[in-house]
Amino acid sequence: MKKCILLPFIVVILGMYAKSQRSELGVFVGTAYYIGDLNPTKHFNKTNSAGGLIYRYNFNTRWAFKMSALFGQLEGSDRESNYNYNRNLSFRSPISEISGQLEFNFFNLYPQQGKNNFSPYMFVGFSAFSFNPQAQMNDHWYDLQPLGTEGQGLDHYPNKEHYSLTNVNIPFGLGLKYNFLRNFSLGIEWGMRKTWSDYIDDVGGTYADQIQLSTNRGPIVASLADRSDVPNLEGAGRGNSRTKDWYNFTGIWLTFKLFETSESCNVYQKPNYRSNKKGKKR
């Protein structure tokens, strides 16, 4: 899956690399965390390491376009978030994302010495991502989507279909940029992802009938679907279907400017007006 996401990312970068003198290429290192049914409010709860590649094209000193391919892992637990302790569900999921974002620098940002080389910025864009929620039982991790823990795919629930493991989101956030040594940029970034999936955590609908799950899928699936001390009745709320899941990438990035020449600096410079013999500016 990572190769499938990286391939179009690399192709686009190589195409822009060959034509541009305003480009940056670098790496991102940081953390990822999740907000959803198993952790509705606590930011930075159960964070995991994340990383990836980023490419930036600077239109001018204020505006830039960034592409990124990021990878990490999300986790959630009722008992650790202490939100719905008795439900006792938990999950982990790898997360892979390819994204395009438009950035706006609050200050004019230059690579030259003697000019402003620092600016906060904000960004918004569009991403496609993949995930695969898993849960642990008896020291074994199970992929949850094919199991249909809420009755997906059973004849008893004809209206419940398996959810997709790929989806889209809107990334947005804030950061700080710093240019140094002319060709390098360093930054820190916090970015939320508002998704259209309610199943990053495999929780989003109602409980299925435990007898139906046990008979058709086996007792392990029935146990993974309902881990409460007191079994829930069929149709009882298992998750909040009115809200979608979110996730976050936070970290630092380092980029190197490609094809750095004297001409490439024009994009960062303010217009230089010179007076003619008549005293007029041109």
What confidence tens digit (pLDDT) does each residue in 252-267 have? 999 999 975 544 445 5
Tokens coding 273: 């007006």
Spell 153-165 as b/e; 16+ CB within 10 A means b: bbeebeebeebeb
> Tens digit of pLDDT for each residue in 146-158?
999 999 999 999 9
- 61 with 110: CB under 8 angstroms? yes
Nearest-5° Cα angle at 194, 191 to 200: 105
pLDDT at 111: 81
pLDDT score of 42 more than 80: yes
Q: Where in the sequence is the domain holding 145, given as residue range(s)? A: 2-268
pLDDT at 269: 54
Does any domain span residue 99?
yes
Does any domain span residue 276?
no
- 247 with 195: CB under 8 angstroms? yes
How many Cβ atoms are within 10 Å of 91's Cβ, its own excluded?
A: 25
Nearest-5° Cα angle at 184, 181 to 187: 120
Task: For residue 80, give the CATH number of its domain.
Answer: 2.40.160.20
Does any domain span residue 189?
yes
pLDDT at 124: 98
Does any domain span residue 282?
no
Does any domain span residue 49?
yes
234 alpha carbon, distance to own chain's centre: 34
Does any domain span residue 90?
yes
Confidence of residue 270 (pLDDT cuts 50, 70, 90): low
Confidence of residue 4 (pLDDT cuts 50, 70, 90): low
Confidence of residue 6 (pLDDT cuts 50, 70, 90): low
Task: Count structural domains, the chain.
Answer: 1
pLDDT score of 180 more than 50: yes
183: nearest Cα among 267, 119, 115, 255: 255
pLDDT score of 273 more than 90: no
Does any domain span residue 59?
yes
Does any domain span residue 76?
yes
> Tens digit of pLDDT for each residue in 111-130?
887 899 999 999 999 999 99
